[in-house]
Amino acid sequence: MALFKGAGVAIVTPFNGKNEVNYEKLGELIEFQIANKTDSIIICGTTGEASTLTHEEHLECIRYAVEKVNKRVPVIAGTGSNCTATAIYLSKEAERHGADGLLVVTPYYNKATQKGLIEHFTAIAKSVSLPIIMYNVPGRTGCNMLPQTVAALVNNVDNIVGIKEASANIAQVADIMSLTNGNIDMYSGCDEMIVPILSLGGIGVISVLSNVAPAQTHDMVAKYLEGDTDTSRKLQIDFIPLINALFCEVNPIPVKTALNLMGFEVGPTRMPLTKMEPNNVERLRNELRNCNIEIKE
């Protein structure tokens, strides 16, 4: 059984004026998401700035999210690293803190051969009993997980159950579905490709857009899975300009800016990410308004 079907939010990590994790605000964001039909909370992913969190902050965010959500929706913890031993440590701790599943990104910077990817993910999976969703995002990691590698892992490791595919290569998605005979939980990792990936047998999205439009992103997936493809397709197309604005600078700079424009006061990004350029802020503001998302600044 899939960890979730629908739209899971790759939730931001809010910071206060001292650049510390703002757990009270994180709780507010979680409540906003659940009230607006989000199907899963994905904590400490790329959008959650996991790469600039200390291990203590990382694990406390997971623990806090699990406690706050209290089984209302699944909590999936980002525990990937370019160091296999570190990924194993974070994965074991996330399991101990009660996460429902893990999101594990391919190794970044040092990259890996396809054989190395198989050994990396297998070692992590064997260290825990939780279901694992692999995360392929070559634009950020410099490492592309080939369809044959994905199939080898899903077919041979029991608790590797899915993939968040963010290669933006629809042919690669088709190959994965073919090589696994569809026996994989396929999630879009690109908000602009939710409907195309659903059309190939995907079951949802792990979404940046959901931070600012949770109900609409949920509906985009739910309507498709219910057979109302016209409504789903219209939502996808209508939100393309906002999606493009949310990625006009490095994620999560725009989405945290958007949440601040909406009045959530999630604080800044941590260095080396910086403030959004003024012209891009104006673009983002306009697209939020075009999607009838209330601006409170």
Would you name the residues annotated as active-site residues? 135, 164
CA dist 80 → 19, 143, 165, 256 (Å): 23, 13, 15, 22
User: With 0-12 CB in 10 A as exposed, 13-18 as middle and 19+ as buried, what is 216?
Assistant: buried
CA–CA separation, 85 and 175 (whole Å): 30
H-helix or E-strand spanning residue 190 = none
H, E, C per residue of 240-253: HHHHHHHCCCCCCH
* 252 phi, psi to nearest 5 deg: -105, 25
CA–CA separation, 282 and 254 (whole Å): 11
DSSP letter for 101, please: E
CA–CA separation, 97 and 38 (whole Å): 22
Q: What is the DSSP secondary-structure string of 127-183?
A: H--S-EEEEE-HHHHS----HHHHHHHHHH-TTEEEEEE-S--HHHHHHHHHHTTT-
H-helix or E-strand spanning residue 9 = strand 6-10
CA–CA separation, 154 and 149 (whole Å): 9
Judge if the upstream peptide bond of residue 254 is cis by omega within 30 degrees of 0.
no
